[in-house]
Structure 1
Amino acid sequence: MTVRLRDWVTRPWRRSAVATATGQRKSARRLSIEYAVALALAYVLGLLDAAAILIPLGRHPSIALTEHGTIAIAVLGVLGTLGVAIVGVLHVLPTLRWFAAGKEPNPKQRETATRLSGQQAAILVTAWVISGAISVLVNRSTGTALLLPISLGVLFGGSATIGTALLFTQRILRPVVGAATRGSEPRVAAPGVFARLILLWFLCSALPFGVIAAFVVMRSYGWLIAQSASVDVPIMVVSLAALLLGLPTMILTSRSISDPLGEVVDAMAEVEHGRIETHVDVYERSQIGRLQAGFNRMVTGLAERDRLHDLFGRHVGADVAQRALEEGASLSGDVVEAAVLFIDLVGSTQLAESRAPQEVADVLNDFFRIVVEAVDKHNGLINKFAGDAALAVFGVPLRTDEPASAALATARDLGVQLRRLPVVDFGIGVSAGRVFAGNIGAENRYEYTVIGDAVNEAARLADLAKTADRRILCSAGAIDRADDAERQHWAECYSTVLRGRSEATHVSAPAGPA
């Protein structure tokens, strides 16, 4: 398998949660090869920086490299490149194996993954120090004069290698660290945006310009470089090294900032489309890591808010929940025209005595499921459940043109559907009129409810309906407020004084046979 330099410069780094699923991850072997190429490439770029110092300084008579010494340094460069690649792969391979296999890391593996970048830097520093020490020993015949250029070469070359290796390998290590720290706070210290830009400036501008300036100053004063010597070639070498180092460093530094931001932007789009479970991996403790962690906390908060909204809506009704969100926690209400439907289960006490508690709960759930579906179908609101009874209102909190017609149609639908349930008997009462609809209670604990004569009348009619043939009765107020099409389904039965009332109520029931 061939890994091209172009891939390391132009390939996107973004890796979403879906893209890092087990079935889509690269194999450990491929990841290790890419990691080895990254380290080797960073080491070679560091060698170019070191060569830009050693080549011109090596021409000075007092520190001129011997032929054997030059060959030895070249061999050290090749061996160092191979050494850091091999040692680096051996060190990172166990981590890449569990990551590529999609396994859950154990605590020790998590700890190892968070230290990969620091241990990688230690491997590169060790390689440069050993190479520099061997170079001095091989060329010891030149005395201590060679110590300065080799030290400068190790300093600048090693710095360039560590910086570029961090950028090159971050594409591989970031998802690994993200998988190791998922669900916990990231512990990997990484340079922030400002520090990365400063590092980019140092590697691409300050370092090569400083070397060129040093050549000019040393030639002017005859330090290590004769005043008659030309620095054209050294300057050209340094410029070429800066060019080779600058482009990939600039691209990789910009991607190390833009790609995590792109992941957050993509995740925001997922949340915008309703996928509230979306999260991004947090790789580091820089500003970027804090942004990723902040996004995850925000999404968690949104999910919690949606759960509370859903739970709130299930208890008080979606319309009431929406009104509460729009108006806030205020004790307010209005007197409006509304229709009220009261339904009560018959014989619930005997049902509880003769059946197991779970069976009673199942009967009640089936009963209320039918009630809720019928009320929702006609744009009503289940205002409250009271044991084996339910109160539904129409026309509030959402205004409707014909609340009485909706309540009467709901009662007829319930009469048909509830008769299909075994061991269930009921009574339904419907009334309409002006009621107060709003929040009742205290500032820290209230409920949305309706208060008025129509509510009491509907409850009394429900009691009376338990002995009626159709089990459904309504008041003349509901019939008078209904449209002509709905009135045709009802017929007046009689007048009676309901319990707790002083005036007679004209009672109607669904027309047609029972």
Structure 2
Amino acid sequence: MHSNHSTLPIQMFLPSETVELIAEYGSDFPHNLALEQDMTILFSDMRDFTELAERFEPREVYASINASIALQVKSVHAYGGSVNKFLGDGLLACFSGEGKSERAVACAAELLRVLPEHEGALLPCRIGFGINSGKIMFGVLGDAMRWEYTVVGDVANTAARLCGIAKPFQALVTESVFEDMSPASRQKYCSFLRPQMFKGKKHPVGIYEVRAESDDDADKSA
């Protein structure tokens, strides 16, 4: 018995970087491939997920997370980013090339406006964001049974830690991101918050908070 369903494209299930490498290497894909790149990394994560899962039915939680993720993916792609992986109730996105930090911050600013607007229709998907910029390693992890091409290094770790301390509907960025932006974008989006010590680092990291996109900004970009 043959299925009438058409084959889904691999791009729907894998990040674009992985698809490009598969197309380039095919069956000769190197298991120890690692490339150094200058990127801006964005992490997102839902606050109070445990409480949410306890209060609502699993199907409701799933539908709400899926809707929240869809909004985030749409914004990441609109600002020229790539979703590297989904992290249950959040995601990891990568921005590269010219204006990478400005685009990542603008993406977060848009989501800080858009996500709260959907709280009436969705469950309370209160998302926090962490953004960092610098040299990262894209590397293949795993064994012959399961490989994953993902971000490795301190830049990604710090972005994840920032995300971990962000409040609901708050986006935090490092001084590296701030310095990688134009003066106009710094003034538009960022406010200095505080220095933050992270485990394993010798010096505190300067932390900036991203201001949500205004309705006027949204009208201009529409």
- TM-score computed with the length of structure 2 as normaliser: 0.83
Q: 2: distance between equivalents of 1:387 and 1:506? A: 28
For residue 493 of structure 1, the aligned residue among 177, 193, 201 is 193
Deviation of the 1:512 alpha carbon? 7.8
Deviation of the 1:513 alpha carbon? 10
**Counterpart amino acid of residue 125 in structure 2:** V
Aligned to 2:99: 402
Three-state SS of the structure 1 residue aligned to 2:80 is coil
Aligned to 1:415: 112
Aligned to 2:91: 390
RMSD (Å), alpha carbons:
2.5
Q: 1: distance between equivalents of 2:191 and 2:71? A: 25
Deviation of the 1:439 alpha carbon? 2.3
CA contact (8 A) 2:46 2:128 kept: yes
Aligned to 1:58: none
Higher RCO structure (Cα 8 Å, ≥6 apart): 2
Aligned to 1:432: 133
The equivalences for 1:192-211 within 5 A come to none
Write the deviation string for residues 31-63 of structure 1: whole angstroms up to 9, x where unpaired: xxxxxxxxxxxxxxxxxxxxxxxxxxxxxxxxx
Aligned to 1:316: 14
Deviation of the 1:426 alpha carbon? 1.6
Q: 1: distance between equivalents of 2:86 and 2:12? A: 12
Q: 2: distance between equivalents of 1:449 and 1:418? A: 26
CA contact (8 A) 2:196 2:206 kept: yes
Higher helix share: 1
Residue 509 in 1 paired to residue 206 in 2? no
CA contact (8 A) 2:128 2:166 kept: yes
Distance change (3 Å), C-alpha of 1:375 and 1:505: same
**Counterpart amino acid of residue 203 in structure 2:** E
Deviation of the 1:511 alpha carbon? 4.4
Higher strand share: 2
Aligned to 2:219: none
Write the deviation string for residues 204-259 of structure 1: whole angstroms up to 9, x where unpaired: xxxxxxxxxxxxxxxxxxxxxxxxxxxxxxxxxxxxxxxxxxxxxxxxxxxxxxxx
Residue 446 in 1 paired to residue 144 in 2? no
CA contact (8 A) 1:330 1:443 kept: no
CA contact (8 A) 2:110 2:212 kept: no
**Counterpart amino acid of residue 149 in structure 2:** Y
Three-state SS of the structure 1 residue aligned to 2:139 is strand
CA contact (8 A) 2:15 2:84 kept: yes
Deviation of the 1:389 alpha carbon? 2.2
Task: Could you tell me which runs of 5 or more consecutive residues in structure 1 were left unpaired when the two chains were aligned.
Answer: 1-182, 184-302
Deviation of the 1:443 alpha carbon? 4.3
Distance change (3 Å), C-alpha of 1:513 and 1:336: closer
Deviation of the 1:360 alpha carbon? 0.6
Distance change (3 Å), C-alpha of 1:438 and 1:379: farther
Aligned to 1:484: 183
**Counterpart amino acid of residue 95 in structure 2:** F
Deviation of the 1:336 alpha carbon? 1.1
**Counterpart amino acid of residue 313 in structure 1:** Q
Percent sequence identity over aligned pairs: 27
Write the deviation string for residues 91-147 of structure 1: whole angstroms up to 9, x where unpaired: xxxxxxxxxxxxxxxxxxxxxxxxxxxxxxxxxxxxxxxxxxxxxxxxxxxxxxxxx
- TM-score computed with the length of structure 1 as normaliser: 0.37
Distance change (3 Å), C-alpha of 1:412 and 1:504: same
CA contact (8 A) 1:378 1:406 kept: yes
CA contact (8 A) 2:130 2:162 kept: yes
Deviation of the 1:318 alpha carbon? 3.6
Residue 361 in 1 paired to residue 79 in 2? no
Q: 2: distance between equivalents of 1:436 and 1:512? A: 30
CA contact (8 A) 1:440 1:448 kept: yes
CA contact (8 A) 1:335 1:435 kept: yes
Aligned to 1:473: 172
Q: How many residues align?
A: 204
For residue 24 of structure 2, the aligned residue among 326, 332, 347 is 326
**Counterpart amino acid of residue 180 in structure 2:** R
Task: Could you tell me which runs of 5 or more consecutive residues in structure 2 were left unpaired when the two chains were aligned.
Answer: 215-222
Distance change (3 Å), C-alpha of 1:362 and 1:512: closer
CA contact (8 A) 2:113 2:213 kept: no
Write the deviation string for residues 248-281 of structure 1: whole angstroms up to 9, x where unpaired: xxxxxxxxxxxxxxxxxxxxxxxxxxxxxxxxxx
Deviation of the 1:499 alpha carbon? 4.3
Three-state SS of the structure 1 residue aligned to 2:201 is coil
CA contact (8 A) 2:45 2:128 kept: yes
For residue 342 of structure 1, the aligned residue among 32, 43, 48 is 43
The equivalences for 1:264-279 within 5 A come to none
Three-state SS of the structure 1 residue aligned to 2:83 is strand
CA contact (8 A) 1:380 1:394 kept: yes
**Counterpart amino acid of residue 388 in structure 1:** D
**Counterpart amino acid of residue 420 in structure 1:** E
Deviation of the 1:500 alpha carbon? 4.8
Distance change (3 Å), C-alpha of 1:448 and 1:485: farther
Distance change (3 Å), C-alpha of 1:412 and 1:446: same
Three-state SS of the structure 2 residue aligned to 1:316 is coil
Deviation of the 1:483 alpha carbon? 2.8
